[in-house]
Amino acid sequence: MPKAMPTLIKRYIDAYNAGDVDGMLACLSQDIRFTNITGGKVTAEASGSADFRTMAETALRSFSRRHQEITNVITVDAVTLAEISYSATPAQDLPNGWKAGTGVSLSGASLFEVKNGLIARLTDQS
């Protein structure tokens, strides 16, 4: 991970990679706004920590392995933009066409907005 990575975001990524939903939620505000955009289309959204928990737990069951690596980061005030290299192996066939057991890798970016010491908005785009 780049040295300029804010500690809060590093903790979130570490929890994500460990499959630790509680650890991820500890980094998020109660009113977290999460959006995932793939190929220019919104593919997942969550509003609030309960909604995010449901989404994260579903994602954990859908993948036998998943990993995010931050390759570059820019932080200005309360906003961090991170370039991410993502790899995963679906545990089941997914609606987007990914097949169970087939490795997937892609690159993208995540925007983290921090308010009151917690991540209040997270947008993933690939």
Number of folded domains in the chain? Answer: 1
For residue 48, the domain's CATH number is 3.10.450.50
Asked if the structure places residue 66 within a domain, the reply is: yes
Asked if the structure places residue 1 within a domain, the reply is: no
Q: What integer pLDDT is reported at residue 98 of this predicted model?
A: 87
Q: What integer pLDDT is reported at residue 5 of this predicted model?
A: 77
Task: Write b or e for each residue in 63-95: b if 16 or more Cβ atoms lie within 10 A of its Cβ, otherwise e.
Answer: beebebebeebebeeeebebebebebbbeeeee
Domain that holds residue 37: 7-125
Predicted confidence band at 3 (pLDDT cuts at 50, 70, 90)?
A: low
- Report how far residue 16's alpha carbon sits from residue 67's, in angstroms, rounded to the nearest whole number: 8
**Do 62 and 90 touch, CB atoms closer than 8 A?**
yes
Asked if the structure places residue 48 within a domain, the reply is: yes
pLDDT digits (tens, 9 = 90+) for 5-57: 789 999 999 999 999 999 999 999 999 999 999 889 998 999 999 999 999 99
Q: What integer pLDDT is reported at residue 48 of this predicted model?
A: 98
pLDDT digits (tens, 9 = 90+) for 81-125: 999 999 999 888 888 888 998 999 989 999 999 999 999 999 999
Asked if the structure places residue 2 within a domain, the reply is: no
Asked if the structure places residue 73 within a domain, the reply is: yes
Asked if the structure places residue 21 within a domain, the reply is: yes
